[in-house]
Amino acid sequence: MDIQLAQKLAWENKTAKGFNTTDVPLEFGLLTAEIGEAFTAWRKGLPDFGEELADVFLYLAALAEMNGVDLGDEVARKIEKNSRRTYERNENGVPIRVSEG
């Protein structure tokens, strides 16, 4: 599914069901809760792990819509930016960015 379409559909569902569409801090809190549910599903090997990840995405998409952010465009820009970056591992084996490309 296209990110822009998913963002639109997530928003339409929120408005149709009367869910939060204005309280940004609340939406961040709900998104955080969904991330916790996804982590728990992964940690316990539950069969609904994929569904929980989808919930995270839908909350994120609606949060973007709430703030006038085209998530599809932002994701495309960020993927392109990340592809130009280069990294070297430090003495502890941690990747450290050394250039923006």
How confident is the model over 21-71, as pLDDT tens digits? 999 999 999 999 999 999 999 999 999 999 999 999 999 999 999 999 999
Per the structure, the count of domains in the chain is 1
Report the alpha-carbon distance of residue 17 to residue 36 in Å, rounded: 23
Cα separation, 72 vs 57, in Å, equals 12
In the prediction, which pLDDT does 67 show? 97
Task: Tell me how crowded residue 83 is: count the other CB atoms within 10 A of its CB.
Answer: 8
Predicted TM-score (pTM) of the model is: 0.88
Neighbouring residues of 97: CB distance < 8 A, sequence distance ≥ 6: 85, 86, 87
User: What is the model's pLDDT at position 62?
Assistant: 96
| CATH assignment at residue 86 | 1.10.287.1080
Provide the residue range defining the domain that includes 55.
3-99
Q: Are 3 and 11 in contact (CB under 8 A)?
A: no
Return the pLDDT at 101: 75
